[in-house]
Amino acid sequence: MASVSVDEAMRRAIELAARGLGTTSPNPVVGCVLLDADGEVVGEGFHAYAGGPHAEIVALAQAGHRAKGGTAVVTLEPCDHTGRTGPCSSALVQAGVSRVVIAVPDPTPVAAGGAATLRAAGVRVDLGVRATEAESGNIAWLTAMRRGWPYVIWKYAATLDGRSAAADGTSMWITSEAARMDVHALRATVDAVIVGVGTVLADDPRLTVRNLRDGSLAIRQPLRVVVDSAGRTPIDAQVRDGAAGTWIATTAEVGAGPDGGVDLPALLAALHTRGVRAVLLEGGPRLAGAFLAAGLVDRVVGYLAPRLLGAGPAALVDAGVTTITEAIDLEISDVTQVGPDLRITALPRKREG
C-alpha cells in the first residue's frame, strides 16, 4: 500500500468521524487514522457510540505492532481521563507511536490534557491540521461544551412565498417526500427535537426518526420536547406514544421567561444537563421567533417548495424584528436541491453590540 500524507490521513479521519453523528452523544464524534513508520495506513477507527471504544483504540487494535514508531492522526485531542473507557493518551504512548497529529484541542476540563501527556512521554504532537473542517464536522458538540447549552438548528418548511400552511390551515404536505426523508435523516443526527404545544395541538406529530417508505422506526430516537407553558399537551397526543422519550416542558418545571412562557435559556441548560448536545427546533413559527429573538439559534435549515399560496401563516413570526435595520442577517453555507425542493442552510450572523 502506498504511503499517504498527514493531510490526506486527516481528511480520511474527518470522514470516519462523521459516521458517528447521532450515536455518540453526549460524547463527540472522533475519527483516527494510524500510519506506520513508512506512512502506510495500518489502522482506522471512529467513535461509534457512547460507552464504546474510542476512535484511537479501534485504530490501534487494527494496527497492532505496526503502530510502533508510527503516526496517529486524530480529529480531536486524545482524552486524558478514565471514564467508561481508559485514557487514549496513555494507550497511544503504550503502543509506541512517535507522533500524534491533532486537528482540534478538547475544550472540556475533564478530558483535555492528552497533548501534554503525549509530549511529556516524548511523543511529537502537532495541532491544527485541517482544523476548520474537523471543527465543522463536530460543531454541535464543540459549541455545546464550550458554552454549556446545546447547539440549536431551526428547521422549517415553506412555500417560495414563505407560507408554512394554506389560508385554511392545511399544511400536509408543503414539501416533497424526498425533503421529508431528508428531515428524518437530519433528526437522526440530533439528541432532541423541540416543538411548541401549538404544533402538537394543530398537527399531532410523532417527532420520531423513521423510514417513510415502511414506517419502521430508527434504533436511536431523539428526545421529544414540547414547550408547553401551561401543560396543555393532550394525554393521547402521539408525542406520548412511548416510541421515544418525551419531556413536556412547563413553566412550573423550567421557569418562566420575560414573556410569561417557558424560559428558553433555562430549557436549553436543562437539556444540556441531560446530555443533549444538539437539538432540532421544528416548530412552530412563534416558538422559532422566540428562539431567534433571544439569539439562541445556531443554524437555519429551510426547505423551500416550488409552490405559491399567496395567503396563510408565515413560517416565522415575532422574531424581535420591527424595522429593516434589525433584520436577522444570515450567511448561506449550502444550497442543495432535494427532489423538487431546495434545502438552504444558513448561519445567523452575530449582531454588533
Is 286 annotated in a binding site? The answer is: yes
Contact (Cβ atoms closer than 8 angstroms) between residue 227 and residue 268: no
Contact (Cβ atoms closer than 8 angstroms) between residue 271 and residue 149: yes
CA 23 centroid distance within chain = 10
Is 213 annotated in a binding site? The answer is: no
253 is catalytic: no
Is 133 annotated in a binding site? The answer is: no
Is 281 annotated in a binding site? The answer is: no
Which set of grid coordinates corresponds to residue 344? 438552504
Is 287 annotated in a binding site? The answer is: yes
Active-site annotation holder among 56, 133, 326, 331: 56
Give the number of other Cβ atoms within 10 Å of residue 217's Cβ: 13
Is 210 annotated in a binding site? The answer is: yes
Distances (CA, A) of 275 to 50, 257, 268, 278: 11, 23, 11, 9
Contact (Cβ atoms closer than 8 angstroms) between residue 24 and residue 16: no
Which set of grid coordinates corresponds to residue 85? 473507557
Query: What is the C-alpha to C-alpha distance for residues 351 and 330, in angstroms, rounded to an integer?
Result: 11
In angstroms, how far apart are the furthest CA atoms of the chain? 70
Cβ neighbors of 143 (< 8 A, separation 6 or more) are: 151, 298
Is 32 annotated in a binding site? The answer is: no
Is 288 annotated in a binding site? The answer is: yes
Is 345 annotated in a binding site? The answer is: no
Is 187 annotated in a binding site? The answer is: yes
Is 173 annotated in a binding site? The answer is: yes
| Exposure class string for 312-327: b at 16+ Cβ within 10 A, else e | bbebbeebeeeeeeee
Is 157 annotated in a binding site? The answer is: yes
Give the number of other Cβ atoms within 10 Å of residue 289's Cβ: 20
Query: What is the C-alpha to C-alpha distance for residues 174 and 125, in angstroms, rounded to an integer?
Result: 52
Is 284 annotated in a binding site? The answer is: yes
Candidates 100, 101, 98, 99; CA nearest to 134 is 101
Query: What is the C-alpha to C-alpha distance for residues 174 and 70, in angstroms, rounded to an integer?
Result: 54
163 forms beta bridges with: 314
Residues annotated within a binding site for substrate = 171, 187, 203, 207, 210, 282
Residues annotated within a binding site for NADP(+) = 157, 173, 199, 229, 284-290
Residues annotated within a binding site for Zn(2+) = 54, 79, 88
Residues annotated within a binding site = 54, 79, 88, 157, 171, 173, 187, 199, 203, 207, 210, 229, 282, 284-290
| Residue numbers annotated as active site | 56
